[in-house]
Amino acid sequence: MKRKLFTPRPNWQQEHENIGFDYYNLPSLDGSIYWSEGVAYEFTLKQIEALEDAANELHQMCIQIVAEMIQKGNYPDYFQIPQNAIALIEHSWRHNTAMLYGRFDFAYDGRQIKMLEYNADTPTGLLEASVAQWHWLEQVENIPNRDQFNSIHEDLIKRWKTIFPPTSHLHFAACQEAGREDWGNLEYLMDTAFQAGLNVSELSMENIGWDGQNLVDLNNQHIENLFKLYPWEWIWEENFAQYVTPNTTWVEPCWKMLLSNKAILVELWKKFPHHPLLLESYAFNKDLKLQGKWVKKPILAREGANIRVVQDNVDQGAASGSFYFDDYDKYGYIAQKWVNTPLFDKKLPTLGLWMVGHTCAGMSIREDEFDIIGNDAHFAAHYFVE
């Protein structure tokens, strides 16, 4: 695994604009921008195969835990699952409501692979992972025998076809005040559904209505199928929750709440202790004795928020690159063993392994000078050589 520098492509900004990746230039704390043109990570084919196998194995381990939790009706308190969500979690699982996608975050040093978390409900970074970095690979020069672990675009189109019959109508929704990144990802997924032969519509979550029997859009059209780039835990806290029924096919399905919750890391360690892909993890409480270096993570949070470092049971303060947000503090925390990964040109990369359906379809990389990959961390392309 190597971090390599390349000559920027001519008109690379326009290349991004052409595919709707118009948030490539969001500012970062170091004064540069989100997309790192001229930077890429090089892997060997053997490394890519190991990462792909790891993602597939971890996904199956996660699915096994979800199946057992639902079968037993046992949802530990540290998951903080709302009581009113359980019926739809169980209904969506038992009726095999299909998942679309998700993203594992891995720490990797070229040899050792460790799962950091599973972004299984509302992962973003998809357009740049699937299309933008593929275009980079096609257009950059002076890399012989190159390839990229990336069939995300094609696999998304295939996956839509397995979830919905041809010409089905699918609504896509995100928060009205969400940033350009969320809406860019939403519109990209809408385009893949359109290419799969589905009829698509876009609206904000705030503009979803109720006609007394069904969810409806602004044209009073029944919303039978809804992709929401909006976290399930937010839905269950809102008045909107009373209108959430199995009459709508939800993507992601409600059972994904169990996967997207960092408490799944605790269950993984219980079920598969000392597994080489896992980091030791526990539900955080005041009686927990933590020897060595750990991170304290909120079970439900985004963009690296509220992460703290604990050394020999003493809180060392916020991890570098993390920030604090009140709303993420209320759900509870886990403790996860610290993992050291090497810096590459003073940058710390985190690997994103993308699942489409139940199969790993590609990889993306975010890098930063901080320990925590936050919202303004840089996106870097990757390739492998045989």
Q: Can you name the residues that pair with 351 across neighbouring β-strands?
A: 106, 365
- Total residues found in the chain within this entry: 386
Per-residue pLDDT of the chain (386 residues; tens, 9 = 90+): 999 999 999 999 999 999 999 999 999 888 899 999 999 999 999 999 999 999 999 999 999 999 999 999 999 999 999 999 999 999 999 999 999 999 999 999 999 999 999 999 999 999 999 999 999 999 998 898 899 999 999 999 999 999 999 999 999 999 999 989 999 999 999 999 999 999 999 999 999 999 999 999 999 999 999 999 999 999 999 999 999 999 999 999 999 999 999 999 999 999 999 999 999 999 999 889 999 999 999 999 877 788 899 999 998 988 877 777 777 788 899 999 999 988 999 999 999 999 999 999 999 999 998 888 777 799 999 999 98
Alpha carbons 177 and 206: distance in angstroms, whole number: 10
pLDDT for position 324: 77
User: pTM here?
Assistant: 0.96
In the chain, where the domains are located = 2-261+342-385, 280-337
- Where are the alpha helices (H) located in the chain, listed in sequence order? 12-18, 45-72, 86-94, 126-127, 133-139, 152-163, 180-195, 232-237, 256-260, 264-271
Say which residues have a Cβ less than 8 Å from residue 93's Cβ, sequence separation at least 6: 66, 67, 70, 253, 255
Bond into 117 cis (ω within 30): no
The separation between CA 118 and the C-alpha centre of its own chain, rounded to angstroms, equals 6
